[in-house]
Amino acid sequence: MSPRFHALKVKDVRRETAEAVSISFEVPEELREAYRFSAGQYLTLRRMIGGEDVRRSYSICAGEDDGELRVAVKKIDGGVFSSFANENVSPGDEIDVMTPSGRFLLPQHEGGKRTLIAIAAGSGITPVLAMIRTVLTREPESEFYLFYGNKTAQSIIFKEEIENLKDLFPTRLGVFHVLSRETQDVDMLSGRLDADKLQVLLTHAVPAKDADGIFLCGPGEMIETATGALSALGIDEGRIHREFFTPADGSAPHAPKPAHDGADTDHAATAELIIDGTRVSVPVAAGETIVDAAIRAGIEAPYSCKGGMCCTCRAKVESGEVDMAVNYSLEPWEVDAGFVLTCQSRPVSKTVVLDYDAM
């Protein structure tokens, strides 16, 4: 079944830093199962702001056993929803919240000890914190090592909570704060998390070659840098898991991306969409994405970021052909199997059939 929105009441709002809050939601008993999540997943929040339907995805920061549904929202320049969340949300408010989505997940635990590493920057800590809390609580032998990049100590989201976890699990949680605008006693922990620094840290501080899984989360540029460093160290691609919070090319996260050169999308088409077992026909204007066509037609097709990063709009092309402008979230096997991000896909053929229910 496709993810669905429900109006949830805000339970609590915590100020985490000067530019970030965390928000928890009350989940009615009848919706508890629908909002059961795995560490690493996210929620899409929707609200009418200034007369516009605005929706954004935010990662869950609570552990699976914490008994709460909580996300963190960092305010960004020009961010409509992030500004609203940081300045206007209060306990008792209602926000439309989509059921949990996302595949930035912990590999299944087969028992015994495992060593996990996370490299995060800024708000990229959010899903990683959920993973850390879950692993340390459920796996008494496992170890987790965090390399966390920020500008200054004051900008570290969940700084106190991370310190508390370090006190609770001193032999199983290792934390390395790397600050780009603040000098630290250890030179290697001052400056940006660049490739050279990561290669040294992942060789001498915590050998990446011994890790069972490595998780990268934050701005696309950082993820590409970390991926390159891990590749240089000979780390198997299958052990690396990524969650992009911004595009790797530095473009605006929600800006539309053009079709590929040579892709014939400059014509009207018809898209047949299969959503929750129902088939609907949607006219697609020349150069229009599938998601934008569905929105224009009043069809509630799943989507959130519209930037190719969150995968909420994933569907399988059953017939016809589309051009997918960018992809930051589908795995290679999914692309090979015919899955696309409909927020980035424009029809090439006159008729296309896309199945949102396909697994």
43: domain CATH number? 2.40.30.10
Bridge partners, 124 (sequence order): none
Quick one: 126 and 212 in the same domain?
yes
Q: Please give the structure tokens belonging to residue 105.
A: 């997940």
Tell me the average pLDDT across 167-187. 96
Q: Quote the CA–CA distance of 70 and 42 in Å, as a whole number.
A: 10
Quick one: 208 and 310 in the same domain?
no
Residue-range definition of the domain harbouring residue 310: 269-355
pTM score: 0.91
252 lies in some domain: no
For the stretch 90-95, contacts whose Cβ atoms lie closer than 8 Å and that sit 24 or more positions apart, written own/partner, are: 90/10, 90/13, 91/10, 91/11, 91/12, 91/13, 92/9, 92/10, 93/9, 93/10, 94/7, 94/8, 94/9, 94/10, 95/7, 95/8, 95/10, 95/25, 95/45, 95/46, 95/47
Per-residue confidence (pLDDT) for residue 248, from 0 to 100: 73
H or E element at residue 224:
helix 220-232
259 lies in some domain: no
238 lies in some domain: yes
Quick one: 227 and 302 in the same domain?
no
Quick one: 198 and 313 in the same domain?
no
Quick one: 146 and 88 in the same domain?
no
Q: Quote the CA–CA distance of 13 and 92 in Å, as a whole number.
A: 10
Quick one: 167 and 125 in the same domain?
yes
Q: Is the pLDDT of residue 230 over 90?
A: yes
Burial of 151 (0-12, 13-18, 19+ CB in 10 A): middle
How many CB atoms lie under 10 A from the CB of residue 37? Answer: 17
Quick one: 229 and 140 in the same domain?
yes
11 lies in some domain: yes
Tell me the average pLDDT across 209-219. 97
Quick one: 128 and 175 in the same domain?
yes
CA 111 to chain centre: 27
Quick one: 80 and 126 in the same domain?
no
Q: Quote the CA–CA distance of 79 and 23 in Å, as a whole number.
A: 17
Q: Is the pLDDT of residue 279 over 60?
A: yes
Per-residue confidence (pLDDT) for residue 73, from 0 to 100: 98
Q: Is the pLDDT of residue 308 over 70?
A: yes
Q: Quote the CA–CA distance of 311 and 326 in Å, as a whole number.
A: 12
Quick one: 131 and 214 in the same domain?
yes
Quick one: 119 and 234 in the same domain?
yes
- How does pLDDT run across 310-351, given as a tens digit for each residue? 999 999 999 999 999 999 999 899 999 999 999 999 999 999
Q: What percent of the chain has pLDDT over 90?
A: 91
Quick one: 279 and 328 in the same domain?
yes
Give Cα separations from 116 to 202, 211, 308, 337 (angstroms): 12, 6, 27, 30
Q: Is the pLDDT of residue 3 over 90?
A: no
Count up the domains in the chain and report the number: 3
β-pairing, 240-244 vs 213-218, is parallel
- How does pLDDT run across 46-103, given as a tens digit for each residue? 999 999 999 999 999 999 999 999 999 999 999 999 999 999 999 999 999 999 999 9
Q: Is the pLDDT of residue 113 over 90?
A: yes
Q: What is the dihedral of CA 330, 335, 337, 338, to 10 degrees?
A: 110
149 lies in some domain: yes
